[in-house]
Every structure is written in C-alpha cells, then in structure tokens.
Amino acid sequence: MLRNLYRFYLYTVYIALLVFVAVITGRLLNALLSLTPLRGSYGYAASQAEVVQALVFAVVTWVIAGALGGLHYWLIHRDMRSNQSAGTSAIRSFFLNVTEAVAIAIAAPLIGFSVFSSLGFYGGTDAASPLSYALPALTLFGLLEWERRRTEMQSRAALAFQRLHLYGVQIFLLSYVSFACFNVVRPLVDGVIFGGNVALEQCRSYAGVSDCQAPNLFYLIVGLLWFVALWIGYGWLVRDDKARLLRLILHGASFAYGVGFLLAGIFFAAQLLILPLFNTPAALVDILGAGAQYDFLSPLLLGVLVVVVYYRWLKRAAREGMIDEDVLILMEIAIADVLSAASFWWGCGNLLYNLFQTLTPIPNAPDAKSWVAALAFVVAGLGYIPLDLSLLRRNAREAATAGGPRRGAVLALLGGGILALAIGGATALYAWMTALLGSAITNWQIVMHTGLATFIVGLFLAGIYLWFARREHLLGLRHKQQTTTAVLPADEATNDVSASSTEIVAPSTIEGVLDELLAGKITRDEAAERIHALSHVPVSVGHQE
C-alpha cells in the first residue's frame, strides 16, 4: 500500500510537470508564430514585450520544472529497477495511457480542423494559435508513448487502462475521420469535376459578394489524410491484442458504423433518382454545395472506407484464431442484414403514415418530399431481403457455423418488432382514447397515425420473425438428443457365448462410447460401430471386419 502511494505521488508530480512545461511552451510558440505568415490575415502579431515575457517564462519553467521533472523521472526508474512489478503496475499504466489519450485527443483536431481545414476553407485564417498548442501536445504524446513502450503491461488493471486508451482514442479518431470526410468530399468533387463553380456560385448568391474564393483542396486533403493516418495507426497498435471479446465487439460495432453510412449514401442517392418522378429534381448545389441535403458521396465513400478497414482488421483477428473465418463472414452479413432491415421497415412505416395522412389530411397531406424519403428508405434497405435469405439457407445447410449469426439477426429483428408493436400500439390507443373522451392531445391525429403505422410494421416484423424463430428452433436452447439404444451386431454376438442369450446394450450417447473406449472396455472398431449407430451413419467398408 505504501509503495503504491509512493508511485502515485511520483507519477502525479511527473505528469503534472510535463503538462505544465507543454502549456508554457505552447504560450511561447504562440508569441513566436504570431510573427510569421501563419497568423493569417486576421491574426494578432505579438509585441516585443509579449515575446520577451513568454520567452522568460518558458526558460524559467524549463529550468525549474525540467529539473524537478527529471528528478522524479529518475526516481520512477530507480523504483522500477528495485521492483520489477513497478514497470507493469496499474498506476504507471493509468498515468501514461490517460495522459497520452488526452494529448492526442487535443492535438489531432487542432491540427486537422483548426489548421488544415481552416486553411482549406478560409485562406486568411490564423493557424499560429492552434498550431502552437498542438505541437507541444503532440510532443508530449510522443514522449509518453516512447516511455509506455519501454515496459510491457501484464496485470489485468494495467491492460484495462491500456485498452481503454487504445480503443477509446480509436473511436474518437473515427468520429474525426467522419467529420473530415463530410468536409472534404463535396469540395473535392466540386473542384476536380466542376472547377469549384458550385462553391463559388453558392458564395455569391448567399453572401452577395463577388470576390469569393474556391476552397484550397490541398489543405483539405492533407487534413483528411492526417485523421485517417492517426486512425489506422491506432488500429495498428492493437493488431496483436489478445482481448478476443473486446476486440471483436468494438471492431464489429465499427464495421456496423460503416455499413450505416453506406446505407445512408444509398438512401440519398435513391432520393435523387426518385425526385424526378415527382417533378422535383434536385439542383447541383443540393448535392455538392455547403449544407447539401442530398449529399450521397460523402456518406458513401466514408462507409466504404470504414467497412474495408474494419473488414481487414476482423480478417486479421480470424487469421489469429480469435474467430472462425466462415463465422466472421456470416456475422458481417448478419450486421448488414439487421441494418438494412431497419431501413426497409422504417421506410414501410413512413409509407403507411403518409397513406394515413393522405386519407385524413389533418392538418395537411404529405408533400412529395415525404413520399420520396419514405421510398428511398425502402430502396436503401432492399438488400435486406437477399441477405436474410442467405442467412436462412446457410443456417439450414450449416447450422453449426451459421446458427449464431442467424440467431442474432432473427432475435434482433424480433425484438425490434415487439418494441415497435408495443410502443406503436400504446401510442395509437392513447391518442385515440383521449380524443374519444374529449381530452385530445395536440395534433392527436398525427400521433395516432404515427403509432398505428409503427404498430402495423411491428406486427408484421414480430410475426414474421417469431415464425422463423420457432421454425428454426432459435428460441431458447436446442433440444437435447433423445436417448438412443444401440444393439451390437449379430455376427459379433455369436463370437461371445455370453452375448448369445442376452442383448448387449451400448451407451446411449457418443460421450459414453468414448468413455468406454478410453477405459479399455471396448475396442476401436466396436466404438466406431456404436458411434455410427448413434449418428445413423452407415459403417464404411474399411471399418467392417
């Protein structure tokens, strides 16, 4: 206990001094970089007095905090030399991993968004301030990562903090990649194919100015690649992690995240194809402009990127023996099946709601865009039908392999159907009964139509998958094999005088046969005969006497 308190003190002071040095160094860099073109057109140039003050403060900090930090660093390593467990302790893992995670979570968006994206969209932006604090944070991250790699974490608590850092930051970086992708893809397509005319026309029409500038594609691409490199780098750090369940769950969830964006891209593309049928075609600015409501390229490309990357990482896990490769493929199909089904049935529910609103247009009937969105959801989820049938066929042929993914998909859709049925039914009855009793809620017809549409979809969904679940025996545990009695062959009985008058009964399970074989009570050929009898498989010629 006392030794742990001592280590806690050492790491607390050491990390606090490092953070203090990083902040003061950032203050100095801010003053110095403000004198360079990085401050842009709107930045403030530091005065001579401010530069001197920042420099003096930094030098004093480096001397005092550096000396004290170096002393505590020496004490930390002396403790590690005297006690081998100190290098793999949970305290060391906590301070190194948490500080690393915070440092990269600060440095990554400062460089990617505040520097590269800002320079891409606004040429005269101030890049000095974010860069001055991002560089010390990035340096702090590098030093702590080097220190972390000097020892290997072994205890459960230490590994828990390390995995929290590696997997947690990977999730944050994936969100940064998503934001960057939505910022970059539209301007990139506009600049490469249309010469940036969409952005220029939108700027002139909205801002009413004539000196608009197209985005700088170089900075936008560099910003996106920066986030992608960090995200893939963190994935590389966990490539050999042995936490099977955690690795498969988080990578599987991220794979589902990518599938969701793929479906979103298909949804927006379907809207573009359906809109002309309702005489409301979309303009180019609605696809590639800022805030475009039919931007299908960004989610589509992001979905492809995420799905491909996590497919490769899950494939690596399968090669390491964490999961059977066939089961992995079926698991990925099940994920796509459930998400596609959600889109399909959501669209069906919207179509029903629009139909109810058309029959009783209170307060008004649905417009063309409402019908387009509902149809687009159905189109985006059409892949659910072949995916579901594929799982059904595989489960019928290879229940041992496909049983788990098929059961997961069926239970997920059955549960969703039951929830929709219960919530939708209760909502519809609530709106109708309050109106019947003269205490109607606001817009009770809309609420009732929404609940009724949800109830009908839930009824279909629950009915279909309850039937599948019962038909495929997916509810509860499978029934145990019925007890079977196997009788030894007659020709074998004639060789044994005692068996000529008494029927010899074999064990009723394959496990019992194997136990007798291991105990030496029966021969190998006898065991083979009995196993074939239990499994109702004919004995091959090579095994007959």
Reported confidence tier of residue 210, pLDDT bands at 50, 70, 90: low
Helix (H, G, I), strand (E, B) or coil at 540: coil
Averaged over 64-84, what is the pLDDT?
Answer: 92
Q: Tell me the per-residue pLDDT of 389-440, one tens digit each, with 9 for 90 and over.
A: 999 999 989 888 888 999 999 999 999 999 999 999 999 999 999 999 999 8
HEC letters along 76-120: HHHHHHHCHHHHHCHHHHHHHHHHHHHHHHHHHHHHHHHHHHHHH
Q: What ranges make up the beta strands (E) of 200-292?
A: none
- Centre a 10 Å sphere on the Cβ of residue 358 and count the other Cβ atoms it contains: 12
pLDDT at 479: 41
Helix (H, G, I), strand (E, B) or coil at 505: strand
d(CA 207, CA 198): 14
- Contacts for 490-495: CB closer than 8 Å, 24+ residues apart: 491/545, 492/526, 492/529
Q: Tell me the per-residue pLDDT of 104-153, one tens digit each, with 9 for 90 and over.
A: 999 999 999 999 998 888 877 888 999 999 999 999 999 999 999 888 88
Q: Name residues whose C-beta falls within 8 Å of residue 262's C-beta, 6 or more positions apart in sequence.
A: 299, 300, 303, 304, 307
pLDDT at 1: 64
- Centre a 10 Å sphere on the Cβ of residue 216 and count the other Cβ atoms it contains: 17
d(CA 36, CA 439): 69
**CA of residue 270 relative to chain centroid, distance:** 25
Task: Let me know: does 311 contact 251? Beta carbons within 8 Å.
Answer: no
Averaged over 203-227, what is the pLDDT?
Answer: 81
Q: Tell me the per-residue pLDDT of 329-387, one tens digit each, with 9 for 90 and over.
A: 999 999 999 999 999 999 999 999 999 999 987 777 899 999 999 999 999 999 999 99
What predicted TM-score, i.e. pTM, was given to this entire model? 0.82
Is the pLDDT at 58 greater than 90? The verdict is yes
d(CA 395, CA 411): 14
Which of 189-203, 219-233, 440-454 is the least confident region? 189-203
